[in-house]
Structure 1
Amino acid sequence: MDMKVKICGITNRNDLKKIEKLDYDKVGFINIERSKRNVSMNRINQLEQELNYKRSSTLVIEPDNAYDVILKSNRLKIYNIQLHSLSSFDIRYIKWINQYHNFENINITRAIGLKDKIDKSKKRELMDFSTKCDNILLDYVKDGLTGGTNTQIPIDTAIKASKIIKKANNHTEVSLAGGLNYEYLESIYDELKYFDRIDLNSGVEFEPGCKNITEIKKILKLFNN
């Protein structure tokens, strides 16, 4: 199976250099204060400089407005932006980010939280952002928060969301996140054809921010067989 893999929540150079030797698609640096994997802008800059392939780095933020996104991404010269937002951040800001970002070909991912069911409001959110973003990341939402919950979305719900996104815009990539580990991915292997990318974070850690490289290698091997 041809599956892209993003490894998110990188906090240290040791993990980063080991991961860089693997067949990954993207790595993610989280700059969200509530996250257990939060790293400062200065630290992200230091880690990002260690990468041989700079375009694989992703800045994960929870912005209050479009200006916050533009300011941080321009400062770090990162092309991939992943947006987690619980404020008034809405569809209009995506256009402004693309317009005022200093770089061409910026890639925008919008994280959308799911639980057990997709109501009309959630369906509209999936459809609207699929027409404006390059990638939609489906993550489990817990207590109003997405990211780092170590909880899996019911796979039938995730597949339904992916189909809604692809119907609205077939060019938008769909990433599956939420406590993904080897055992779970192996059990839903046949259903992964509905997604373009998996996002590994809390499910492949010894502790928050400390990656289990052996577990990551097992997952990568799963898709290379």
Structure 2
Amino acid sequence: MKYQENIEAIAALQPDYLGFIFYEKSPRNFENDIPKIPDSIKKVGVFVDASIDFVVEKIKKYNFKAVQLHGNETPGFCIELKAILHRHTEPVEVWKVFSIKDEFDFEILKPYEDIVDYFLFDTKGKAKGGNGFTFDWSVLKNYNSTTSFILSGGIGLQEIESILSFWRRPESKYLHAIDVNSKFEIEPGLKNINDLSTFKKLLNNMREG
């Protein structure tokens, strides 16, 4: 998210999370104030190889309830960050992003087990996220972790049937959330409210069905 009125309009749809990117190379880089949104929505700070001091500063400034680490952050970095965040009065989730295309070595995840709260699987591309296309979700049939994950990467209205199919698969028991971004944008950081409303209704209908 990037623009105040758009943030308020999307917050009215009651998503579980709203993300704010702090990465100068991103066209979605956030430099504004966040308007008041319902406490039920967890604000997420997204960082790429930022320093721990920078991450903690933004958590305190914006009252983030989750951080998404989208760079080459090591298990040691995550341990140090978690130790600092444990001193906060309210818990802050730590998500570690891993990019996938046609294959993935899930052994890479092992050093992060029992450290991060969730893994986020995004599509490997030229940019650090927001590439606009999905990776091959069948790769996740080899998922051998018990840490829940977030499914990301080029998810839009056209992926509704694919999501339904994925929900029927055994590995979906570890699915925590679905992350959407570029497929719902009018321009970087500006989301299409009508399309997101339709997407959320379709997902809710699926879950109820």
* TM-score strictly above 0.5: yes
2:141 corresponds to which residue? 160
**Mapped contact 1:186–1:222 kept (Cα < 8 A):** no
What is residue 3 of structure 1 aligned with on the other side? none
- Equivalent residues of 2:160, 2:203 under 8 A apart: no
Distance, in Å, in 2 between the alignment partners of 1:90 and 1:160 is 25
The alpha carbon displacement at 1:66 in A equals 3.0
Q: Take 1:64 and 1:223, find their aligned partners in 2: how far apart are those partners? A: 34
| CA distances 1:132-164 after superposition (whole Å, capped 9, x unpaired) | 111111001114x4311112111102x236x32
Structure 1 counterpart of 2:123, which letter? Y
Deviation of residue 55 (structure 1)? 5.6
Q: Distance in 2 between matches of 1:206 and 1:65?
A: 31
Aligned position for 1:215: 195
1:199 aligns with 2:179: yes
Q: CA deviation at 1:50?
A: 1.8
Distance change >3 Å, CA 67–CA 205, structure 1 → 2: same
Deviations 1:27-76 (A, max 9, x none): 00111111111112xx1xx21x4213176101111134433322332333
Instruction: Kindly indicate whether the alpha-carbon contact (under 8 Å) linking 1:55 and 1:80 is maintained by their aligned counterparts in 2.
Output: no
State the percentage of identical aligned residues.
25
Are 2:117 and 1:126 equivalent residues in the alignment? no
In the other structure, the counterpart of 1:5 is: none
Matched-pair contact (CA < 8 Å) for 2:43–2:66: yes
Q: 1:206 to 1:151 in 2, by over 3 A?
A: same
Indicate the structure with greater helix content.
Answer: 1
User: What is residue 146 of structure 1 aligned with on the other side?
Assistant: 128
Deviation at 1:16, TM superposition (A): 1.2
Query: Alignment RMSD, CA only?
Result: 1.9
Q: TM-score, normalised by structure 2?
A: 0.86
Counterpart position of 1:96: 80
Q: How does 1:164-203 map to 2 (within 5 A)?
A: 164-166=144-146, 172-192=147-167, 194=172, 195-203=175-183
Q: Secondary structure at the match of 1:220?
A: helix
After superposition, residues 54-93 of structure 1 pair within 5 angstroms as 56-86=42-72, 89-93=73-77
C-alpha distance in structure 1 between counterparts of 2:163 and 2:50, whole Å: 35
Higher relative contact order (CA 8 A, sep 6+): 1
Between the aligned partners of 1:192 and 1:208, the Cα distance in structure 2 is 29
Q: Would you say the 8 A contact 2:15–2:41 is kept in 1?
A: no
Label 1:14 to 1:106 Cα distance change in 2 as closer, same or farther (>3 A): same
Letter in 2 for 1:22: L
* Local SS of the residue matching 1:27: strand
Paired letter, 1:107? E
* C-alpha separation in 2, matches of 1:79 and 1:209: 20
What 5-or-longer segments of structure 2 have no aligned partner? none
Q: 1:22 aligns with which of 4, 9, 13?
A: 13
Q: State the number of aligned residues.
A: 198
Structure 2 contact 2–30 (Cα < 8 Å) conserved: yes
Residue identity opposite 1:184 in structure 2: E
Q: Within 1, Cα distance between the matches of 2:108 and 2:128?
A: 15
Structure 1 pair 55–20 and aligned structure 2 pair: CA distance change class (3 A): closer
**Residue pair 2:98, 2:121 contacting (<8 A) in 1 also:** yes
Distance 1:54 1:100 in 2: 24
Offset, 1:207: 1.7
Distance 1:115 1:77, change over 3 A: same
